[in-house]
Amino acid sequence: MKAFLTGAYKEAGAPPASFGCVDVRDVARAHISAMEKKDASGRYLCSSNTAIPHFQWARWLAEDEEFKDYPLPDKLASPLPPLLKMDNSKVQKELGIELTPIKQTIVEMARSLVALGIVQKP
């Protein structure tokens, strides 16, 4: 995220990487729920239901007025491979976790980096 906000990918383009994303606050809620629910058992996949391309992060940030002046990439460095799909229904149904929309997570993460001084405003 820091590289996106500081312009490291502006010229070359966003890396053609993608992966499952989750808000760390959702992971914490899932851990607590799994400990508290007597019938909780097995593995719970706490992730987006599809891999999120890095370039999508840049698009979401560019849509937010707060990040309009940041040097975000506006292209991909190379084509994306097929996106992986995941099934996160178990964590939502059995633990009652409503996963935070990834767009919200990405924008809030960027805001946190700025608020903490890790990334400077342009």
**CA pseudo-torsion sign 31, 33, 38, 44:** negative
79 Cβ contact list (under 8 Å, min separation 6): 16
Spatial separation of the C-alpha atoms in residues 44 and 94, rounded to whole Å? 9
Matching residue, tokens 């593995």: 43
For residue range 92-121, what is the model confidence (pLDDT) as tens digits? 999 999 999 999 999 999 999 999 999 999
What integer best gives the mean pLDDT of the chain?
Answer: 95
Beta bridge partners of 53: 18
The separation between the first and the last C-alpha atoms of the chain, rounded to the nearest angstrom, is 15
For residue range 18-57, what is the model confidence (pLDDT) as tens digits? 999 999 999 999 999 999 999 999 999 999 999 999 999 9
**What would the CATH number be for the domain defined by 2-115?**
3.40.50.720
